[in-house]
Amino acid sequence: MLPTPAGHGPLTSADHALIDALRHDGRASYAQLAAATGWSQATVARRLSDLRARGTVFLDVEIDVAAYGVRTQALLWMAVAPAELDHVATTLATHHELAVVVATTGPTNLLAQALCSDPADLHRYLTRRLGTLDGIRTLESAPVLRTLKAAGHVTLTVRPTPA
């Protein structure tokens, strides 16, 4: 069985079937999920509600950002003073230009994805907003020219744990 977060019971084989069906089609109906698990629709609804309430399963929406006027994307790698990491990350999380802010390890310890209307908008963001934040020692940016794969189906190999 897959390990689960503290306080959560182990996932059953039917849970795996439910999650796998949702990986393939996050819009699957209760009838389709019932067929995949062998449960009734009512059981699927209850189990999915329980898994969502515990945070074991969450639903994410992927959109085409061009519909919102985003024509320029960039990944931003920042080296932030360790004492300033929480402050800088929390501040960046409020910036509407950033879709993702992630603390990492290594020479750069903060990663963000910027979504801007055009290259000039990205330049203004980098120089007028990010450039004014104390704690950011270095910043590297890489434009995203094309996304080949984003969220999608994930195959997990589950190995039994030794007794």
User: What pLDDT does 47 receive?
Assistant: 94
Residue 158 in domain: no
101 & 126 share domain:
yes
Amino acid 39: pLDDT:
94
3-state secondary structure of 103: strand
> How many Cβ atoms are within 10 Å of 36's Cβ, its own excluded?
19
Residue keyed to tokens 């995203």: 144
> What is residue 8's predicted lDDT score, i.e. its pLDDT?
61
| Residue 76 sits in the same domain as residue 100 | yes
Q: Which helix (H) or strand (E) holds 122?
A: helix 119-124
What are the tens digits of pLDDT across the range 84-129? 999 999 999 999 999 999 999 999 999 999 999 999 999 999 999 9
DSSP 31-58: HHHHHHHT--HHHHHHHHHHHHHTTSS-
Residue 78 lies in a domain: yes
Q: Are residues 16 and 71 in the same domain?
A: no
CB 117 within 8 A of CB 59: no
For residues 66 and 138, what is the distance between their CA atoms, to the nearest angstrom? Answer: 29
- Answer yes or no: is 163 within a domain: no
Low-confidence stretches of the chain (pLDDT beneath 70): 1-8, 151-163
**Residue 34: inside a domain:** yes
Whether 125 and 73 map to the same domain: the answer is: yes
Does 152 map to a domain?
A: no
Helix, strand, coil share of the chain (percent; to 5): 40, 20, 45
Domain range for residue 83? 65-143
